[in-house]
């Protein structure tokens, strides 16, 4: 079964009340909360969202995946936010090729932050500026999976497929079979583009009917976070993207 997840940032305080109400209405099943270091959760926000299942996304300031004292301090703040939300997962990006040139470096840095809730997210080949990222190929992801579970981002998988000149369906099918992820991100984009886009699903040419069928066929629940654009001052665009995916292949 697919469990639908809403993406929020700790700084989206103006959306918390609506999120709590929408959760009660059954619009989604859990929230992934991005920890914004300059806008952390406050007691009132925590109270509003009490009772909702959570995952946490570590801040992008840690995306190099190199952990000196400053980065470890920030990591501990993200862990504290996860504790406050009673989050079951913490998603982290695994770095750039400039910062993580080999797997031994990845293992060394992972050992500094390793904890039971940690998920490592798959990456596209290139970031939005064209810099090469670590963990875009399935062989590296398979080695990571031997250490930690994977957060499998469907859009980033499609971008990695373009980078490796593969059909995005082949990359996704193989990734699901070899990595066995249970936690996912999704957004839209163009299959020929190698850099992340995070568009609405309806502005995309990905095969979402195929993706939905693959997730529904898993022998366990798939937690699927919608990283689609925020529009205006409410959650309507998020919910419309969820509705669009629910109808995929119908």
* CA nearest to 106, candidates 118, 88, 89: 118
Average pLDDT in the 221-243 region?
96
Q: Which long-range contacts does 67-72 make (Cβ < 8 Å, 24+ apart)?
A: 67/109, 67/112, 67/113, 72/112, 72/113
Q: Is 187 helix (H, G, I), strand (E, B) or coil?
A: coil
Average pLDDT value for residue range 18-39: 98
- Report the C-alpha gap between 200 and 102 in whole angstroms: 34
Which CATH code for domain 2-246? 3.20.20.150
The arithmetic mean of pLDDT across residues 223-233, rounded, is 95
Q: Is the pLDDT of residue 250 over 90?
A: no
Q: Do the strands 90-92 and 2-9 form a parallel or antiparallel pair, or are they unpaired?
A: unpaired
Q: Is the pLDDT of residue 217 over 80?
A: yes
Residue 249 has pLDDT above 90, yes or no: no
**How confident is the model at residue 185, as a pLDDT?**
98
Average pLDDT taken over every residue of the chain: 97
User: What are the residue ranges spanned by the domains of the chain?
Assistant: 2-246
Given a cut of 90, whether residue 63 has pLDDT beyond it is yes
The C-alpha atoms of residue 80 and residue 27 are separated, in whole angstroms, by 28
Q: How many CB atoms lie within 10 A of CB 44?
A: 10
pLDDT of residue 47: 95
Q: Note the pLDDT tens digit of each residue in 157-194.
A: 999 999 999 999 999 999 999 999 999 999 999 999 99
What percent of the chain is modeled with pLDDT above 90?
A: 98
Residue 23 has pLDDT above 80, yes or no: yes
Buried b (16+ CB within 10 A) or exposed e, 127-138: beeeeebbbbeb
Mean pLDDT of all residues in 126-142: 96
Read off the pLDDT band of 232 (50, 70, 90): confident
How many whole angstroms separate alpha carbon 163 and alpha carbon 151?
19
């Amino acid at each position: 079964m697919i469990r639908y997840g809403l993406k929020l940032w700790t700084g989206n305080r103006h959306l918390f009340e609506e999120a709590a109400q929408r959760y009660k209405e059954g619009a989604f099943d859990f929230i992934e909360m991005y920890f914004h270091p300059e806008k952390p959760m406050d007691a009132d926000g925590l109270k509003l969202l009490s009772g909702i299942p959570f995952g946490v996304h570590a801040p992008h300031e840690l995306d190099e995946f190199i952990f000196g004292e400053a980065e470890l301090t920030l990591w501990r703040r993200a862990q504290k936010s996860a504790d406050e939300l009673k989050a079951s997962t913490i998603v982290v990006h695994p770095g750039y090729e400039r910062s993580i040139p080999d797997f031994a470096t990845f293992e060394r840095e992972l050992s500094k932050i390793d904890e039971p809730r940690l998920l490592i997210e798959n990456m596209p080949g290139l970031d939005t500026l064209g810099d090469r990222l670590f963990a875009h190929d399935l062989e590296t992801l398979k080695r990571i999976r031997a250490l930690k579970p994977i957060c499998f981002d469907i859009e980033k998988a499609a971008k990695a497929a373009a980078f490796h000149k593969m059909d995005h369906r082949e990359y996704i099918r193989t990734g699901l079979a070899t990595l066995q992820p249970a936690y996912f991100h999704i957004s839209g984009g163009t299959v020929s583009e190698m850099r992340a886009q995070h568009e609405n699903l309806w502005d995309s040419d990905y095969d979402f009917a195929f993706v939905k069928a693959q997730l529904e066929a898993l022998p366990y629940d798939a937690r699927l976070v919608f990283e689609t654009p925020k529009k205006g001052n409410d959650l309507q665009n998020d919910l419309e993207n969820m509705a669009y995916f629910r109808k995929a292949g119908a």
